[in-house]
């Protein structure tokens, strides 16, 4: 199955042995690869030469299919894959008729050329495997192709005109605020003191206001 309707010349179709990552995993992580992963297939290679697009920083994008033994999110496994392969990877994770997509914006590790540092991970919700709402638009340059795809996963936010590091900064800040709001909402539900509940509600409203300000920058 061609997830993104990519040109035939991009196809690879090579199975990647799970033990390829053994050097970078501990015993618990090795067991997760064995217990959760049925097969990892390198399905497509998008490079500047293959699809005839210029690049600034991203010369290649790889597409992996990760077949699961059960329906489960695998952020830890994907983090290992993304850290240990130098190219940007778009992972299509599937179990039966369900799938989700994940990719990590990253940069080379300053002290270890064999590893990458993950800046931010973009992940979709689960969806019907045959009805993916995401598309790789092969236009502009390689960097623009990857940026556009990441923003689709981020909720089609209109951050396109902003520098990449600024986009990552906004996403990180929004994620922290969402977690703080969630924590406060749980505290409010448990709180029986009126004055304390008022104080927590004010904090929540202030955070929601800041979150809306961040989201407005995407519109």
- Tens-level pLDDT at each residue, the chain (219 residues): 568 889 999 999 999 999 999 999 999 999 999 999 999 999 999 999 999 999 999 999 999 999 999 999 999 999 999 999 989 999 999 999 999 999 999 998 888 887 899 999 999 999 999 888 999 999 999 999 999 999 899 875 666 577 888 888 888 888 899 999 999 999 999 988 989 999 999 999 999 998 888 877 655
Same domain, yes or no, for 16 and 118?
yes
Same domain, yes or no, for 196 and 150?
no
Determine contact, residues 88/118, Cβ cutoff 8 Å: no
In a domain, 76, yes or no: yes
Determine contact, residues 77/176, Cβ cutoff 8 Å: no
In a domain, 2, yes or no: no
In a domain, 16, yes or no: yes
Same domain, yes or no, for 52 and 143?
yes
Q: Where are the beta strands (DSSP E) in the chain?
A: 11-15, 37-47, 60-68, 88-95, 98-108, 116-123, 127-128
In DSSP terms, 61 is beta-bridged to 46, 88
Same domain, yes or no, for 107 and 207?
no
Same domain, yes or no, for 23 and 53?
yes
Residue 124 φ/ψ, nearest 5 degrees: -85, 170
Same domain, yes or no, for 13 and 109?
yes
pLDDT of 14: 96
The number of distinct structural domains making up the chain is: 2
> Helices 164-190 and 194-216 sit at what angle, rounded to 10 degrees?
160
Question: Cα separations (Å) of 49 from 11, 12, 52, 53, 146?
Answer: 14, 15, 5, 7, 16
pLDDT of 158: 63
Same domain, yes or no, for 190 and 82?
no
pLDDT of 160: 57
**Residue whose tokens read 């505290």:** 187
Helices (H) and strands (E) in the chain, counts: 6, 7
Residue range of the domain that includes 112: 8-156
In a domain, 3, yes or no: no
């Amino acid at each position: 199955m061609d997830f993104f309707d990519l040109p035939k010349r991009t196809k690879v179709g090579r199975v990647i042995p799970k033990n390829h990552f053994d050097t970078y995993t501990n015993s618990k992580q090795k067991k997760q690869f064995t217990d959760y992963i049925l097969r990892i297939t390198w399905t497509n290679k998008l490079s500047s030469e293959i699809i005839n697009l210029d690049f600034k920083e991203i010369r290649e994008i790889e597409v992996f299919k990760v077949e699961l033994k059960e329906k489960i999110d695998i952020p830890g496994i994907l983090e290992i894959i993304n850290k240990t392969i130098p190219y940007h990877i778009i992972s299509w994770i599937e179990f039966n008729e369900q799938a989700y997509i994940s990719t990590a914006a990253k940069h080379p590790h300053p002290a270890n050329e064999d590893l990458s540092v993950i800046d931010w991970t973009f992940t979709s919700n689960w969806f019907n495997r045959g009805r993916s709402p995401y598309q790789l638009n092969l236009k502009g340059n390689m960097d623009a192709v990857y940026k556009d795809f990441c923003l689709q996963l981020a909720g089609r936010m209109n951050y396109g005109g902003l520098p990449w590091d600024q986009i990552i900064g906004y996403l990180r800040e929004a994620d922290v605020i969402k977690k703080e709001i969630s924590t406060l909402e749980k505290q409010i539900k448990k709180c029986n003191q009126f004055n304390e509940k008022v104080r927590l509600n004010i904090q929540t409203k202030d955070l929601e206001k800041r979150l809306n300000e961040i989201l407005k920058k995407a519109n």
